[in-house]
Structure 1
Amino acid sequence: MATTTHHHETATAEFLELAPSARRRFTLFMVAGVILLAIGLILSYLGIGAEHHAAAGAEGAHHTAGAGSSVEHHGSPIWLKRLIVSLWHSNVFFTGIAAVGTVFVAINYVAYAGWSVIVKRIAEAFSAWLIPGAVIMLVVFGVSLINHDIFHWTAPGIMDPKSENYDAIIAGKSGFLNLPFFVIRMVVFLFIWWFFSERLRKLSLEEDQMGGTGFWDKSINVSALFLVFYAVTSSIAAWDWVMSIDTHWFSTMFGWYVFASWWVSGIAGITLCAIFLKQAGYLRFLTADHLHDLGKLMFGFSIFWTYVWFSQFMLIWYANIPEESVYYNQRLGGFNDKYTWMFFFNLIINFVFPFLVLMTRDAKRQMIMLKLVTIAILIGHWFDFYLMIMPGTLKADSGFMIEIGVALIFLGAWLTLMTKRLSQASLIPVNHPFVEESMHHTT
Structure 2
Amino acid sequence: MGTNNQHTHNFTQQFEFSGKAKTWSLIAILIGVAAIAYGFLLDPAEYHSERTFANLLLMGYYFTCVCAAGAFFLALQLVTQSAWSAGLIRIPQAFAKVLPIASVILLVICAAGLFSHNLYHHWNLEGITEVGNEHYDAAIAKKAGFLNAPFFLIRLVFFLTIYSIFALVLTRFSDREDLVGGLANYKKSFKISAIFLVIFGFTTPIWAFDTIMSLEAHWFSTMFGWYNFAAMFISGLCAITVTVILLKKAGYMSWVNHNHIHDLGKFVFAFSIFWTYIWFSQFLLIWYANMPEETVYFFKRWEPEYKLWFWLNIVINFLAPVLILMTRDAKRRTNTLLAVCILLLCGHWLDYYLMIMPGTVESNRQFGITELGIFIGFVGLFSFLMMTQLAKKPLAAKNHPFLEESLHHSI
Please, what TM-score do these two structures have when normalized by structure 2? 0.96
Map 1:256-275; keep pairs closer than 5 Å: 256-275=226-245
1:412 is matched with 380
2:293 is matched with 323
2:366 is matched with 399
Residue identity opposite 2:138 in structure 1: A
Residue identity opposite 1:253 in structure 2: M
Residue identity opposite 1:230 in structure 2: F
1:198 to 143, 148, 168: 168
* Aligned length, in residue pairs: 408
1:91 is matched with 60
Same amino acid, percent of matched pairs: 43
Residue identity opposite 1:410 in structure 2: F
Mapped to 2, the partners of 1:330 and 1:399 lie a distance apart of 15
Higher mean Cα deviation, 304-313 or 24-33? 24-33
Mapped to 2, the partners of 1:171 and 1:239 lie a distance apart of 17
Mapped to 1, the partners of 2:93 and 2:319 lie a distance apart of 30
Q: In structure 2, list runs of 5 or more residues that go unmatched.
A: none
Residues 13 and 429, structure 1, Cα contact 8 Å, conserved in 2: no
Higher mean Cα deviation, 403-412 or 247-256? 403-412
Q: Does 1:102 align with 2:102?
A: no
Residues 31 and 374, structure 2, Cα contact 8 Å, conserved in 1: no
2:147 is matched with 177
Higher mean Cα deviation, 397-406 or 418-427? 397-406
Offset of 1:365 from its aligned partner?
0.6
Map 1:268-347; keep pairs closer than 5 Å: 268-332=238-302, 334=303, 337-347=304-314
Residues 37 and 403, structure 1, Cα contact 8 Å, conserved in 2: no
Residue identity opposite 1:422 in structure 2: L
1:435 to 396, 399, 403: 403
Map 1:106-125; keep pairs closer than 5 Å: 106-125=75-94
Mapped to 1, the partners of 2:153 and 2:208 lie a distance apart of 14
Deviations 1:262-290 (A, max 9, x none): 10000000000000111111101010000
Mapped to 2, the partners of 1:123 and 1:350 lie a distance apart of 22
Q: In structure 1, list runs of 5 or more residues that go unmatched.
A: 46-67, 72-77
2:29 is matched with 30
Residue identity opposite 2:372 in structure 1: I
Q: Which has the higher helix share?
A: 2
Mapped to 2, the partners of 1:239 and 1:151 lie a distance apart of 15
Map 1:1-400; keep pairs closer than 5 Å: 3=1, 5-7=3-5, 9=7, 12-39=11-38, 44-45=43-44, 68=45, 71=46, 78-144=47-113, 145-332=115-302, 334=303, 337-400=304-367
Please, what TM-score do these two structures have when normalized by structure 1? 0.89
Residue identity opposite 1:130 in structure 2: L
1:421 is matched with 389
1:52 is matched with none
Mapped to 1, the partners of 2:38 and 2:163 lie a distance apart of 36
Deviations 1:377-423 (A, max 9, x none): 10000110000000000034233320221111111111111011111
Residues 106 and 227, structure 1, Cα contact 8 Å, conserved in 2: yes
Mark the CA change 1:44 to 1:224 in structure 2 (over 3 Å): closer, same or farther: same
Residue identity opposite 2:262 in structure 1: H
Residues 85 and 150, structure 1, Cα contact 8 Å, conserved in 2: no
Offset of 1:39 from its aligned partner?
5.0
Residues 120 and 214, structure 2, Cα contact 8 Å, conserved in 1: no
Mapped to 2, the partners of 1:409 and 1:128 lie a distance apart of 20
Mapped to 2, the partners of 1:331 and 1:8 lie a distance apart of 54
Residues 288 and 365, structure 1, Cα contact 8 Å, conserved in 2: yes
Residues 114 and 434, structure 1, Cα contact 8 Å, conserved in 2: yes
